[in-house]
Amino acid sequence: MGCWSPLNAMKAYVHTLQLCKDYSDDQTDSNANDGTNKLIEPECVEFISALATGNQSRLMVDITSHGVSPSALALAIAARHTNGRLICVQGSGLQDAVDIQIGDPCDVIKQYKNVDIAAVDHRIENCDEVLFSLDMNPDGSIVVLSNLFRR
């Protein structure tokens, strides 16, 4: 991880907010006839994106118990801003900035060294084992644990 860059953090924060707004607008347009709106709730993804980008994270990991997580979106935007790499243990639709890995999180994560930031879904099986398997960057790294209080 490099030195903190407030300008890069702000750019990623705004980029994430804009992406959520664009998605919301697209959903509103496509649902104009039925009056429904499927709004993306950022749930602090803009903060995660800014945190990873501001710290100039190069290798990022998202481990989730289901499809694309909001943190994967945030970290993919950060990867684009830092010319970094995001490893998702489960799928996403951002192949230009994301390496998709399917498999046991403990086995997959052991392939990567010096992770700058990891977002881990607390609902995955063996979450503690996954956390202890992460090889974090000794110069500084961040772990974001999601769904800690959800059943």
Give the pTM. 0.60
Burial 43-71 (b: 16+ CB within 10 A, else e): eebbbbbbbbbbbbbbbbbbbbbeebbbb
pLDDT of the residue at 99: 76
Q: pLDDT tens digit string along 56-69?
A: 999 999 887 666 67
Span of 20-29, 79-88, 100-109 with lowest mean pLDDT: 20-29
CA-CA distances (angstroms) from residue 128 to 88, 125, 144?
A: 18, 9, 13
- Which class does domain 6-146 fall in? alpha beta
- Cα radius of gyration (the chain): 16
Q: Which residue has the tokens 């994430």?
A: 16
